[in-house]
Amino acid sequence: MNKAKPWIIAHRGSSGEFPENTLAAFWDAVKSQADIIEMDLQLTADEQVVAFHDTIVDRIFQERSGKKIDDFSLFELKQKEIGSWFDPKFEGLRIPILMEVLENLPQDTSLILELKSNKVKLLESVIQTLEVMNKSLGLGYISVRDIETYKTCKEISSKHKIGLMQKKRTPKETIEEVVKNEIEIVQIRWKNWKPDEWKRIEDLDVIVTAFSADERSDFEFLVDKKIDGIHTNYPKRLYEFLNKE
């Protein structure tokens, strides 16, 4: 942690102003000068990689309440629009597959690909898609939630960086995992970190990104900490803060 100006990480795209994990949200993040775009990835029943956060599909399939994304084929999911829950003006947007996202964004766009499950097939499919598209993640990385998946990722893919999310771990447990497993990138839930815990993570040779921040006071705090990256739902807001006169 030593960056004077942190990376702007668009959390699920510009998800404060657009339906999350949609091409519209991702494109707005590009236009808003985000350094990295983060998205959530899952597998459908027919093993297609889609960008979607919720495991349960209640937000888009009220009539199929309780069902999971992997209960549906890509064809079934594509029948549902996913924009109107956010705002009626976005009605008609569809769940994108990873291939669509890569095809529609500039080739040099940096990405954080968050794996929403520990299925090896999901990881393999993501890596295969990146190889087919000859896509580098740039400043980004593949983001996972548990150590076993982290180790599997390291074994399967030496080309792409791997990051670990704090999730339900305490700051102390997170630091211990970083040290024990020589983690290179860690995403922390920064608001419950105490000064001594900040000091410990600062002293480690690890890239630290903060999830998440949308307000000026939070931006100021994290910039003061020299955090490496800030996950935000409003990348334009963070860009304007970081580049103010």
231 carries an active-site annotation: no
- Asked whether residue 184 carries a pLDDT value surpassing 70, the answer given is yes
- Asked whether residue 161 carries a pLDDT value surpassing 60, the answer given is yes
Phi/psi of residue 85, each to 5°?
A: -60, -30
Q: Taking the CB of residue 62, how many other CB atoms lie within 10 A of it?
A: 9
Query: Of these residues, 53, 119, 189, 226, which one is catalytic?
Result: 53
Q: Average pLDDT, stretch 101-118? A: 97
Reported as type and span, the H/E element at residue 102 is helix 98-104
Q: Taking the CB of residue 53, how many other CB atoms lie within 10 A of it?
A: 16
End-to-end CA distance of the chain: 24
Residues 240, 244: Cα–Cα separation, whole Å: 6
Phi/psi of residue 101, each to 5°?
A: -60, -50
Q: Average pLDDT, stretch 77-100? A: 96
pLDDT band with cut points at 50, 70 and 90 for residue 59: confident
**Residue 90: DSSP 8-state:** G
Residues 6, 134: Cα–Cα separation, whole Å: 27
Between helix 120-132 and helix 147-156 the angle, nearest 10°, is 40
Question: Which is it for strands 229-232 and 7-11: parallel, antiparallel or unpaired?
Answer: parallel
pLDDT band with cut points at 50, 70 and 90 for residue 244: confident
Tokens of 139: 């400043």
Residues 145, 138: Cα–Cα separation, whole Å: 21
Question: Which is it for strands 49-51 and 36-43: parallel, antiparallel or unpaired?
Answer: antiparallel
Mean pLDDT score of the chain, rounded to an integer?
95
Rg (CA), the chain: 18
- Asked whether residue 12 carries a pLDDT value surpassing 80, the answer given is yes
Nearby residues of 238 by Cβ (< 8 Å), 6 or more positions away: 8, 213, 219, 230, 232
Tokens of 121: 């097939």
- Stated pTM of the model: 0.96
Q: Average pLDDT, stretch 72-99? A: 95
The whole-number pLDDT of residue 210 equals 98
Query: Of these residues, 6, 7, 11, 178, which one is catalytic?
Result: 11
Span 7-242 CATH architecture: Alpha-Beta Barrel (3.20)
The whole-number pLDDT of residue 139 equals 97
- Asked whether residue 245 carries a pLDDT value surpassing 70, the answer given is no
Nearby residues of 212 by Cβ (< 8 Å), 6 or more positions away: 11, 230, 231, 232, 233
